[in-house]
Amino acid sequence: MSAFDRPRLNLCFVGWGAIARRVGELLAERHPQGVNIVAVAVRDHNRRRDDLPAGVRLISEPSELAELDLDMVIEAAGRDAVAVWGEAALRCAASFIISSTSAFCDDALLQRLVSVAEKAGSRIVMPSGALGDLGALTAASILPLKEVVHTIIKPPRAWRGTAAETMLDLEALEAASPFFEGSAREAADRFPQNANVAVISALSGIGLDRTRVVLVADPAASRNAHRVEASGAFGRLDLTLENEPLATNPKSSEMTALSLVRLVENAVAPIVR
- What is the secondary structure of 100-165 as a DSSP string? -GGGGGSHHHHHHHHHHHHHHT-EEE---GGG---HHHHHHTTSPEEEEEEEEEE-GGGGTTSGGG
Using alpha carbons, select from 134, 141, 142 the residue that is nearest to residue 238.
Answer: 134
- The boundaries of every CATH 3.40.50.720 domain in the chain are 9-125
Model pLDDT, residue 107: 94
Rounded CA gap, 154 and 217, in Å? 5
Sheet containing strand 35-41, edge to edge, reads 57-59, 35-41, 9-14, 72-75, 95-98, 123-125
Select which of 31, 45, 150, 226 is catalytic. Answer: 226
Model pLDDT, residue 261: 96
Give yes or no for a contact between 136 and 205, defined as CB atoms under 8 angstroms apart: no
Q: Is 46 annotated as a binding residue?
A: no
pLDDT tens by residue, 98-139:
999 999 999 999 999 999 999 999 999 999 888 888 899 999
CA angle 208, 213, 214 (to 5 degrees): 165
Model pLDDT, residue 53: 86
Rounded CA gap, 32 and 84, in Å? 29
Which residues of the chain fall short of a pLDDT of 70? 1-6
Give yes or no for a contact between 148 and 201, defined as CB atoms under 8 angstroms apart: yes
Q: Which fold has domain 135-251?
A: Dihydrodipicolinate Reductase; domain 2 (3.30.360)
CA distances from 213 to 7, 129, 247, 267 (A): 39, 17, 25, 32
Rounded CA gap, 189 and 185, in Å? 6
Specify burial of residue 106 (Cβ count, 10 A radius: 0-12, 13-18, 19+): middle
* Amino acid occupying residue 86: G
- The boundaries of every CATH 3.30.360.10 domain in the chain are 135-251
The helix-helix angle for 79-92 and 107-120 (nearest 10°) equals 10
* Amino acid occupying residue 215: L
pTM, to two decimals: 0.90
Give yes or no for a contact between 154 and 181, defined as CB atoms under 8 angstroms apart: no
CATH of domain 9-125: 3.40.50.720
226 is catalytic: yes
In 3-state terms the chain splits into helix, strand, coil percentages (rounded to 5) of 35, 25, 35
Q: Is 36 annotated as a binding residue?
A: no
Model pLDDT, residue 6: 61
Model pLDDT, residue 138: 95
What sign does the CA torsion over 232, 233, 236, 242 have?
Answer: negative
